[in-house]
Amino acid sequence: MEYGIISSMEPHRCLECGNVIPHMRTGKIFCCDSCRNRYHNAEKRQLRVYRRRIGNRLERNYTILEGLLAQGVDSLPLSDLQLMGFSPETVTGYFLKQRRSLELGCYDILYKQSGTKVFDLHRVRSPAKDSPHPYARDDTAPLP
């Protein structure tokens, strides 16, 4: 077995620019405040872009589903929805119903989805305080 000498004098490099960090304290990972700010701002920017992209997809899905409800449509082939710009993998919630049927939701609009079809499209009303069911169908609610 060979033993080597580990040098603790290897220079530390800045995570942002790669410059050598002068020896001040052992845990320092940025050479200056501007590098630290740039690094963290870039990290947050990526997260903001991701959140905005998801929000835009949800808004588009909601607009499409709301338009279909206004027209009285309660089922449609998934391919037609995707041609309209619908993103089936972007939902705000899912609910496992009786008989193991999965109901997907986009805010207050719920629907079921098979491999090729979206069906049972309906809007839910806000839960009443004395209601035993937190979400119930709202077939009588006026459309805004």
Q: What is the pLDDT of residues 34-86, one digit of tens each?
A: 999 999 998 899 999 999 999 999 999 999 999 999 999 999 999 999 999 99
Q: Has residue 113 got a pLDDT over 80?
A: yes
Q: Name the residue among 1, 2, 27 with its Cα closest to residue 12.
A: 27
Q: Which amino acid is at 96?
A: L
Residue written as tokens 């603790």? 8
Looking at the structure of the chain, the number of domains it has is: 1
Residue 112 in domain: yes
0.85 surpassed by pTM: no
Residue 42 in domain: yes
Range of the domain at 94: 33-123
Q: Bigger pLDDT: 97 or 32?
A: 32
Residue 12 in domain: no
Residue written as tokens 């991701």? 50
CB 118 within 8 A of CB 75: yes
CB 18 within 8 A of CB 30: no
